[in-house]
Structure 1
Amino acid sequence: MNTPHKGLDITTAKSSRLDQVDFDNLVFGKYYADHMMICDYKDGAWQTPQIMPYGPMEMEPSSKVFHYGQAVFEGMKAFKDADDKVWLFRPEDNFNRINISSKRMAIPEFPKEYFFDALNTLLKLDSEWIKKGDGNSLYIRPFAIGTEYGVSASPSNEYKFIIICCPAKAYYSTPVKVLISDHYSRSADGGVGYAKAAGNYGASFYPTNLAKEKGYQQVIWTDANTHEYLEEAGTMNVFFRIGDKLITAPTSDRILDGVTRKSIIDLAKHEGIDVEVRRIKVGEIVEAAKNGTLKEIFGTGTAATIAQISGFEQDGTFYDLPEVENPYNVKLKKMLQDIQYNRAEDPFDWRYAVETK
């Protein structure tokens, strides 16, 4: 059935694929909800967004995204509370960031009304894909790609903005071990590190595979100029607890302005935890590990929420982190998730109610 709605064209799925999914044993990114949104950019304007059944789409082999990497994306989650109400977490931050990323990659910015109308409609249609319970969510992946065909090295004149959704559980179920990189870097000054550009992540896979061969799940990236400063952990922002102080690197044109990162900083300050946002030298963390003042390291991101790091290798030496009483990562994760699942007050006004009835 084709239905116009709030400036959207909607074609609903004939049947749901919910019964094909084992929600107790989810593999992240394997199953996708029944509907997706596609909006085309052509003739200098974004066209009417279309909601349609999730499925393959046809593209020219010469589409510029395949040749010049014009692609950006976001990661968001929808949560369902005990009363079956659906909530998004700071969605305006994600909307603003994908347009910041798009601008850096010469992709036209997407209209706010289209973005939120599409999100609300998708979540209403696929609300049964959002399961209640701690750790359960619907992961939302908005992305934009250059689709004009032709292999000339220039920005595309045509694009697709797409939103797909997949049910998710915790990304990391156990603490992870990491390798501090002393050769490879995630990004450089003047580059696209602050943008969620697809190529940032593709370029990280090879050094991450090298780390996995050594028994580590992720890499902590260092700066490209000297490899003296710690920046991000895998696809996450990273926090270090030395004594009772929480330290994280400042955002820059190399470091992503993570939504979870910002939230953890605000929650920690709200709890009276001393937070420092500053550059952190590898040597400082190694020295803290040696003298016993390094209490915790954890990564933050939409998919992972908070991922505890149990130890790290630097220059051939592995440093185990101690088990501490009342760890910050556990406390802050609970506070964050209590807001996301509508179990606690939201003094920051981060929750966004989705009308699904």
Structure 2
Amino acid sequence: MDTASPVRRGRGVSGNVPNRFDPYATEPFDDGWGSVEEERLRPPAVATTLTPERARSALSWNDSPDLGFDRSLNPYRGCEHGCCYCYARPSHAFVGLSPGLDFETRLFFKPDMAAILARELSRPGYAPRPVALGANTDPYQPAERRLGITRALLEVLERFGHPLTIVTKGAGIARDLDLLRRLAERDLVRVWISVTTLDSALARGMEPRAATPARRLDAIRVLNAGGVPAGALLAPMIPGLNDAELERILEAGVAAGATHAGWGLLRLPGELRGLFTEWLRQHQPERARHVLSLIREVRGGDLNDSRFGQRFSGQGPYAAMIGQRFRVAAKRLGVPERLAPLALHHFAVPDFAVPDDARSSARSDGQMTLF
């Protein structure tokens, strides 16, 4: 990608980077008509496409000691929010696409996921533990308004009495307040709203199609007022870019009613190193060198450290300082250090589970029907 490329309005990154699994790479060639230079200076708008994907299973499993869950649900592949720092971007290479612009414009959804989940939860010997919704890409990205797959999953989890956690930047989560309230009444749900900055201009550059910071704080307020425990997730904290706001973000979250809070350090796996570096040079040219220097400082000299125990919190004095600042601010604001576990005893397979031939299908109005 040309480092002199202009910002592509409404998108997180300017273009695509090569897929690391593709044995062939392409590059633009000027045929003499000046079309390459014209497109570089005035990149055309790129529409978002949605493609159905048949899910083999609903639950994804992990054994990472860094995560507080061992299973997750990801109804969408790719994310239109377009966050320049999204650690999930490299996963788009697994389907033969680029972690760059493809990740935020060529999306996949799983229309039959709710029915598959119901069958998996009905299997003999299934042992419930909290399932994370939104561990990879956002379950409340713009497509959810039309497709309703996340809501269909919530309906299944409610019927089975299964505990869950949700991480999102989408203010659209408030549309499901009715379901979330019923789950919360049985201590089955906990929500984390990601708030990375209070600066709307910075947010517009980093997360161009996510809800504004003010709307995310409103979502925390609405959920908690409706009886749904919602907290603020200050992640990622990017050294030299948004980490100076840490205390102010936490204060705003608590003022909105946040019952819990957490933080995490920027991660730059795979192609994300180059994508984020390019974004910095385009959007924050005067700070780019300093930010990259601080990232290397907290990552042992590299731009990423994937080791367990290090990847979320970093290492060295600067990373330790961010962690200490969060702990001091959380204590001052009365944010609990530990959270009570979600309930497991409500789990039960309903008398009528899901027939073998059941499939979720899209209605004419774009919503999903479960059975």
TM-score scaled by length of structure 1: 0.28
Higher helix share: 2
Higher strand share: 1
TM-score scaled by length of structure 2: 0.27
